[in-house]
Amino acid sequence: MLELKNITRAYELGGEKAGAFGVSLSVPAGCLAVLAGPSGSGKTTLLQLVGLLDEPDEGEVFLEGEAVSRLPEKARCELRLRRLGFVFQSFNLVPVLSALENVMLPLQLQGIRDEDAKLRATEALDRVGLSDRLEHRPGQLSGGQQQRVAIARALAPKPVLVLADEPTASLDHAHGGPLMDLMVQQCRDSGVSFLVASHDPSVISRADLVFRLMDGKLVATESTKVTA
Amino acid sequence: MILARLALRNVMRNRRRTILTLLVVIAGFMSLSLAGGFMAQTFDGLSQAAIRGGIGHIQLLHPQALEGDEGQSLEFSISDGEALASRLREDSAIAEVLPRIQFMGLISNGPKSVAFLGSGVDPVREPQFMAVLDSLKDGSKAKGGAGSRWLSTSSGSRDVILGVGLAKSLGATVGSSLTLMSTNKDGGLNALDVEVVGLQDMGLRELNDRVLTVSLDTAAALVDAGPTRSRLSILLKQPEDTARELPRIQALAGKAVQAFPWFELASFYKQVKLLYLAIFGFMGLVLFLVVLLATANTLLMSVMERVREFGTLRAMGLQAWQLTSLLQWEGALLGLCGSGLGLILTLVFRLAVNALHLQMPSPPGTSHGYELNIHFVPMVYLCVFIGLQLTLQFSALFPGFKAAKLRIVEALRHV
């Protein structure tokens, strides 16, 4: 489903070279994979390359067999809109929109009619246990609830891959664990692949695949419960 | 429409800042609209003064009449003026044709003689179409004077109405007997005794010091005009058709005369209009600049506050041009709300000011003030609205481009 071939993306950070160097990996469909490693190991860099937010210096990203990393900007936008979902560490919900409207937003950007978008967004929020918080704005929700809205927003457009950057980093342990359980459940239920960047053991322990990174290089791949 | 809805929410996000921006737009709308209404009142007043003051909507003149001074009376005149006037009166578009004899000379009370500019007018038709009666002053207020009246319609009378300044310089009042002296059209000197029947205030001091009005018969007798007339003032049934009717009336009148629209002959009107357009044009430019800078600042600040949000939207698949559109929508909404509120407040303010019947001071060179009556000119409101809307769209361009140029990965890291 997702394949990275010899990806390199280098940049200067504090006078030293950082980024990702010659990384090759593969994530099958319906799999929850984790990019694990300490800060500066290249997790976020790889996530941005897979999310088509940045271009690799070398190598190629294949999404469902299609080379996507050097597509024109418009095509990359379309891919992000229709086939990728994003979950950010700081939730990044639009503060002026309600939970429901936040989830509806990517659907409306796809051109889906308001009524249909509302229905799908309501279902998505119901799946993450927030059917009673539809009209709440992000400021009226807890961190865990906001991240659930972010997951619903990522899943509502029915992407093939959801990218999550440190999704539990802004949450305490009591909320982080259940959130990961929710992601695992969504992964199982909907067949969507998740690629999560994290150094949180509770996240890594729930993964099907773990890619260990160190100084921008893939040092180990651990397959725990691959089903695909 | 999702961008429009999102823009509306964003505009409502920081209400205090939005209100301040709206106040700038409202102030701009009110200032420009009210100034436009005031200008319209001024232009309307000046045009009516020119048209009803003697020019008419269209004036027929000898082709050389405007080129230089006449060597003698009626040198550049319409030889069959009365006949031409009669013919033109039959045209369906023409309400009236007023023949005039323009002449100059000396007016004397015996010991003192003063130069004058005289007009011979039709005593019957002139008051029906021109504002001559409005300019009559109450002569009884002058020492020993009786009340002013209009020129007698009987052909044998020798009445004269003097400009108030001219009467003052001669010490004349209503009832005074004076002598007019002028050259006839053959160059000979002629004189005529006249009786002052009224005083007139033309609104301009220079005119009041020089003008006098007599009947066409009196003027014709003084300058031996016969059927010759200096000019024919034409009043149209549909004044707004002046420019369209001009070539037709020119063709109707023949090549011996030349037709001029009132706005080409009213030099004072033209000068004041140009002056006002320059003053208010500059003022408008400054106001548009203020609105531009204020709204650009607001939108730029809102962009800087939403960098990560824009990064998120871009990551979700929003195209760069859609971010520019979002900012354009925000500018458009600010403009629509500001102009809408500005329109309401302008109309209320206009009604209130007009209800006060404020008296404006005399404009330079004129002898009396006027009542402030700010006109409602839909075209001015529309132009101000469009101008402000374009200004706001323009002010949203730079913030929009800035938002569109953000690198997504950097925007997502922005704190």
Type of residue found at A99: A
Type of residue found at B223: V
E strand map for B228-271:
231-236, 258-261
Q: What does the pLDDT read at residue A146?
A: 92
Mean per-residue pLDDT of chain A: 89
pLDDT (mean) for A44-70? 92
Chain A residues whose CB is inside 8 A of the B318 CB are: 77, 81, 109
pLDDT (mean) for A177-206? 86
Residue B160's H or E segment, with its range, is strand B159-163
Q: How many residues does chain B have?
A: 415
Q: Of A46, A41, A53, A40, which is closest to residue A24 (Cα–Cα)?
A: A46
Report residue A225's pLDDT band, with 50, 70 and 90 as the boundaries. low
Segments of chain B scoring below 70 in pLDDT: 68-73, 138-146, 363-367
The answer to whether A223 and A208 are in contact (CB under 8 A) is yes
Tens-place pLDDT, residues A88-101: 988 899 999 999 99
* CB-based contact B317 A81, cutoff 8 Å: yes
Q: How many CB pairs under 8 A join A and B?
A: 61
Beta-carbon contacts of residue A64 (< 8 Å; ≥ 6 apart): A1, A83, A160
Q: What does the pLDDT read at residue A107?
A: 94
Q: Of B43, B363, B367, which is closest to residue B211 (Cα–Cα)?
A: B367
CATH 3.30.1960.10 assigned to domain A2-223? The reply is no
Beta-carbon contacts of residue A174 (< 8 Å; ≥ 6 apart): none
Q: Which two tokens stand for residue A91?
A: 């939730």
Q: What does the pLDDT read at residue B344?
A: 96
Distance between CA atoms of residues A32 and A210, nearest Å: 9
The answer to whether A143 and A170 are in contact (CB under 8 A) is yes
Instruction: Tell me the nearest-neighbour CA distance from B5 into chain A, angstroms.
Output: 10
Q: Which residues, listed in sequence order, are joined to residue B96 by a DSSP beta bridge?
A: B235
Distance between CA atoms of residues B216 and B213, nearest Å: 9
pLDDT (mean) for A123-140? 91
Let me know how many helices (H) and strands (E) chain B has, helices first: 15, 12
| Residue B321 in contact with partner chain A when CB distance is under 8 A | no
Percent of all residues in chain A with a pLDDT value above 90, rounded to a whole number: 61
Distance between CA atoms of residues A51 and B339, nearest Å: 43
* CB-based contact A53 B308, cutoff 8 Å: no
- Tell me the CA distances in angstroms from B367 to A95, B45, B52, B201, one per residue in order: 65, 15, 18, 8
Instruction: Tell me the nearest-neighbour CA distance from B11 into chain A, angstroms.
Output: 10
Distance between CA atoms of residues B42 and B35, nearest Å: 10
Distance between CA atoms of residues B4 and A27, nearest Å: 39
Rounded to two decimals, the pTM is: 0.77
Interface of A with B (CB under 8 A): 48, 51, 53-54, 73-74, 77-82, 86, 88, 90, 92, 94-97, 105-106, 108-110, 153
Instruction: Tell me the nearest-neighbour CA distance from A28 into chain B, angstroms.
Output: 23
What does the H/E/C string look like for A181-218?
Answer: HHHHHHHHHHCCEEEEEECCHHHHCCCCEEEEEECCEE
Residue indicated by tokens 């009378």 = B157
3-state helix, strand, coil in chain A (%, to 5): 35, 30, 35
Q: Which two tokens stand for residue A22?
A: 């010659």
Type of residue found at B361: P
The answer to whether B314 and B394 are in contact (CB under 8 A) is no
The answer to whether B96 and B89 are in contact (CB under 8 A) is yes
DSSP annotation of A225 reads: S
Distance between CA atoms of residues B189 and B207, nearest Å: 24
Chain B residues whose CB is inside 8 A of the A73 CB are: 319-320
Q: Give one word for A81, left, alpha or beta, with left for phi > 0 and alpha for psi -120 to 50.
A: alpha
Give the full edge-to-edge strand order of the sheet including A58-63. A16-27, A2-13, A58-63, A66-67
Higher pLDDT, A228 or A181: A181
Task: Give me the phi and psi of B16, to 5 degrees please.
Answer: -65, -45
- Tell me the CA distances in angstroms from A214 to A43, A220, B1, one per residue in order: 9, 9, 46
Q: What is residue A61's three-state secondary structure?
A: strand
3-state helix, strand, coil in chain B (%, to 5): 55, 20, 25
Q: Which two tokens stand for residue B171?
A: 């010490």
The answer to whether B253 and B81 are in contact (CB under 8 A) is no
Distance between CA atoms of residues B29 and B26, nearest Å: 5
Q: What does the pLDDT read at residue B142?
A: 46
Q: Give one word for B374, left, alpha or beta, with left for phi > 0 and alpha for psi -120 to 50.
A: beta
Instruction: Tell me the nearest-neighbour CA distance from A93 into chain B, angstroms.
Output: 8
Distance between CA atoms of residues A131 and B412, nearest Å: 28
Q: What does the pLDDT read at residue A227?
A: 47
Q: Of B153, B199, B155, which is closest to residue B176 (Cα–Cα)?
A: B199
* CB-based contact A74 B319, cutoff 8 Å: yes
Complex ipTM: 0.91
The answer to whether B101 and B219 are in contact (CB under 8 A) is yes
* CB-based contact A94 B6, cutoff 8 Å: yes
Closest residue of B to A47, CA-based? B409
The answer to whether A117 and A123 are in contact (CB under 8 A) is no
Distance between CA atoms of residues B228 and B185, nearest Å: 10
Q: What does the pLDDT read at residue B282?
A: 92
